[in-house]
């Protein structure tokens, strides 16, 4: 490969490192072109899967300020660059690796922090960002609802007491002391 082509490949890889919020380094030895195509689909829309030479990847990573993969750049290497939800791509890699043991997850990078292969697999076990946000919103709504009930309870109790007093007066019964009216309203 001519020098300008290598320089362009390094620049492209460095830009992918800078533009992604996560990256996963894999070994793809033994996978067919059709299997790689299925893997690219399994990663989702917000991820790209690039096969590259180790020396070019190492140079591009260092230009992008990434040193997490230096020790793992051996053998046939491909990188999943993730710009969206890293959980979705990690699940795609994990599930594909279960069906195709030739795919080996070597290491990962999430928001500038190096991750081991085990940590990438643990990331795949998380729920997606949308599910976690929905759960957080539900928990906040439940807390607000409980707070509203606590604030409204004394007012509701007072209304029931006044209603019991009004009913007693309409029936012509003598007015009961406030404590008795409250007890009858709670019953």
**66: closest CA among 10, 19, 26, 109?**
109
Range of the domain at 139: 132-186
CATH at 108: 3.30.70.1730
**1: closest CA among 64, 62, 56, 58?**
56
pTM of the model: 0.64
**22: closest CA among 102, 73, 93?**
93
- For 50, list phi and psi in degrees, rounded to 5: -120, 130
Per-residue pLDDT of the chain (187 residues; tens, 9 = 90+): 568 888 888 889 889 988 888 889 888 888 888 888 888 888 888 888 888 888 888 888 888 888 878 788 888 888 999 888 888 888 888 888 888 888 888 888 888 888 888 888 888 777 766 776 787 888 887 787 887 778 878 888 888 888 888 888 888 755 555 555 555 555 5
Is residue 27 domain-shared with residue 114, that is, in the same domain? Answer: yes
Is residue 144 domain-shared with residue 115, that is, in the same domain? Answer: no
The count of domains in the chain is 2
Is residue 25 domain-shared with residue 102, that is, in the same domain? Answer: yes
Residue 143: both structure tokens together: 């807390």
Is residue 122 domain-shared with residue 136, that is, in the same domain? Answer: no
């Amino acid at each position: 490969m001519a020098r300008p082509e290598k320089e362009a490949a390094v620049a492209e890889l460095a830009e992918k490192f800078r533009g992604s919020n996560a990256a996963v380094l894999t070994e793809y030895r033994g996978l067919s072109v059709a299997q790689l195509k299925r893997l690219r689909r399994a990663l989702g829309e917000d991820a790209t899967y690039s096969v590259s030479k180790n020396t070019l990847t190492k140079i591009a990573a260092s230009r992008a300020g990434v040193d997490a993969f230096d020790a793992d750049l051996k053998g046939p290497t491909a990188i999943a660059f993730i710009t969206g939800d890293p959980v979705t791509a990690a699940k795609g890699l994990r599930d594909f690796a279960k069906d195709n043991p030739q795919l080996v997850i070597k290491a990962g990078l999430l928001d500038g922090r190096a991750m081991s292969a085990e940590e990438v697999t643990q990331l795949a076990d998380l729920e997606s960002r949308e599910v976690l946000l929905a759960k957080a919103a539900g928990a906040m709504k439940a807390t607000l609802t409980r707070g509203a009930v606590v604030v409204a309870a004394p007012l509701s109790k007072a209304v029931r007491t006044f209603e019991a007093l009004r009913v007693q007066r309409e029936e012509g019964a003598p007015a009961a002391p406030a404590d008795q009216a409250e007890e009858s309203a709670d019953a």
